[in-house]
Amino acid sequence: MPQYDAAFQGSRGAFSEIASWEMLGAAASLLPCPRLEEVFAAVHSGTARYGVVPVENSLAGSVILGVDLLIQHELFVIRETVCRIDHAVIGAPGVQLKDVRKLMSHPVALAQCEHFFQMHPQIQPVPEYDTAGAVEKVIKENQRDSAAIAGRRTAELFGGVVLADKIQDHAENFTRFLLVSPEKGEPDDSVRNKTTIVLKLANTPGSLFHSLRPFAERGIDLTKIESRPIKGSPFEYLFYIDLVSEPGKMPVVLEAVTELQKISASLRVLGTYPKTDARP
């Protein structure tokens, strides 16, 4: 029996923790992990039943490590959620924004706040493994010239002070999280679904064009296509692809995937799961 319902990367208060609750409910028992690789290890070992993986942000683009780990590991995607991300600058009690010279957070969070750094050139961005962990570090060490970027809830959790609020470049800032499992999910064809596949093209002229044709001919929407290098094979790539199907159209998607499989070097279906849209 797994000891936890899910593992997520970060400390308490991380956006991944919120995503975990959205997908599994507020009563879910959660395992915080310092690194995203440890989330996958916890699921493989059976310590956690599921893993929560960030894969895409509406401002910064793909979370590359999340995508690469999904490709590397034999796990299945069974659910997704989209979380609104509001970033705050959080410091130790008594610290003011004018005192801050270093601002720590996850690289993706830092990338979402470029305008803030342009407006405060005296502040240096410093990458950390996660947003909430950066807040915890600043507060526990009582750093006087540093602060962290995270959700304002972390200020309450760790006893910090909000020095600036909603500093992301755009108000419409969302991150997409996936729930991964050792077991396949059971698709519900009565709802809009998303199917995620990983594809290696045949090394022939026009292979990318021919790989997209089965979806174009059937009117299937591709919402994401990303190339990722194959380690150990210089300048060869896998394609990570998300497909959306309308209710009742899963047989059409399966037909297209089957056709694509015949003309590809390799194809793996990571999962089919209900599509979730960003909420205002």
**Is residue 272 annotated as a catalytic residue, yes or no?**
no
Single out the catalytic residue among 81, 154, 175, 196.
175
Single out the catalytic residue among 158, 177, 215, 239.
177
**Is residue 81 annotated as a catalytic residue, yes or no?**
no
Write the DSSP assignment of the chain as a string of letters. Answer: --SEEEEEESSTT-HHHHHHHHHH-TT--EEEESSHHHHHHHHHHTSEEEEEEEEEETTTEE-HHHHHHHHHS--EEEEEEEEE---EEEE-TT--GGG--EEEE-HHHHHTTHHHHHH-TTPEEEE-S-HHHHHHHHHHTT-SSEEEEE-THHHHHHT-EEEE---SSSS--EEEEEEEESS-----TTS-EEEEEEEEE-SSTTHHHHHHHHHHHTT-EEEEEEEEEPTTSTT-EEEEEEEEE-TT-HHHHHHHHHHHHHHEEEEEEEEEEE--PPP-
Which residues are known catalytic residues?
A: 175, 177
